[in-house]
Amino acid sequence: MTKTREILEKVKNGELSVTDAEHFFRTEPFMELDFAKLDSHRKLRTGFPEVVYCEGKSLENLLSIYGKLKEEDGSVFGTRASKEQYEFVRKSLPETEYDPVSRIMRIGAGEKELSGNIAVCCAGTADIPVAEEAAQTAEFFGSYVERIYDVGVSGIHRLLSQTELLQKANCVIAVAGMEGALASVLGGLVSNPVIAVPTSIGYGASLKGLSALLTMINSCANGVAAVNIDNGFGAGYIATQINRLATGRKE
């Protein structure tokens, strides 16, 4: 995205010919690394640069990916990174930052200005890692986030005390394990969309998040949509898209 704007600015200022600019745009819209094809035009198409799913990638491959993406866009955002991966990447890219709670590994702060309002709620403190993945994803891509944690239905007065704050949000993310009832309650309190995120937190019959997922997709509250189990990133991404629509922000 950055290079695209630079090329267009140079054409506008007469520093680059249309023919030379055309050559740039004819190049393949990805970077070939043999083991990966990095989608360098994704931000141009969707408004979001490619995000790295770190889990399962070798240390050397991950370092190469981070290096190329940083070179292309100036910042990199990755999810499900391990401490070992972070320490390896940081040796070559010392500006790399890591949050052990959300397991997000990033370079750069992402969007500099935060706009709009997204509320990220979680039922219990055990759900915070997934909630933080959602919140930090939204923040990296330019959304202002309010965190409302430990407001599960077993003490619903805690949630109801935040009703005014919740109703101001352009989108609400509900993160919950166990039976996953938080999303339905929130759906009955707010007028804007609720993104439900089931977590794998719970005892045996919760089936590693399946019970919460089934509750959320069977919610009787309108305006509730669910993402996959523990998918905080997916929720933060969709919430940002909704928030951008609400604020009229164009990428």
Please report the pLDDT score of residue 45 as a whole number. 75
Map residue 34 onto helix, strand or coil: coil
Please report the pLDDT score of residue 47 as a whole number. 78
Which uninterrupted H or E stretch holds 61?
helix 59-73
| Position with higher pLDDT, 111 vs 18 | 18
Domain boundaries, the chain: 27-107, 115-247
Q: Mean of the per-residue pLDDT values for the chain?
A: 89
Tell me, letter by letter, the H, E, C secondary structure of 169-234: CCEEEEEECCCCCHHHHHHCCCCCCEEEEECCCCCHHHHHHHHHHHHHHCCCCCCEEECCCCCHHH
Which CATH code is given to the segment(s) 115-247? 3.40.50.1970
E strand intervals along 29-68: 31-32, 37-38, 52-53
Lowest mean pLDDT among 15-29, 154-168, 191-205, 219-233: 15-29
| Position with higher pLDDT, 7 vs 204 | 204
Give the mean model confidence (pLDDT) for residues 204-223.
95
Give the mean model confidence (pLDDT) for residues 79-107.
95
pLDDT-based confidence at residue 96 (cuts at 50, 70, 90): very high
Please report the pLDDT score of residue 242 as a whole number. 96
Give the mean model confidence (pLDDT) for residues 99-119.
90
pLDDT-based confidence at residue 235 (cuts at 50, 70, 90): very high
Q: What is the C-alpha to C-alpha distance for residues 91 and 63, in angstroms, rounded to an integer?
A: 10
Q: What is the pLDDT of residues 111-138, one digit of tens each?
A: 778 899 999 999 999 999 999 999 999 9
The DSSP 8-state label assigned to residue 82 in this structure reads: -
Contact 121, 172 (CB under 8 A): yes
Q: What is the C-alpha to C-alpha distance for residues 108 and 16, in angstroms, rounded to an integer?
A: 29
pLDDT higher than threshold 80 for residue 43: no
Lowest mean pLDDT among 12-21, 206-215, 224-233: 12-21
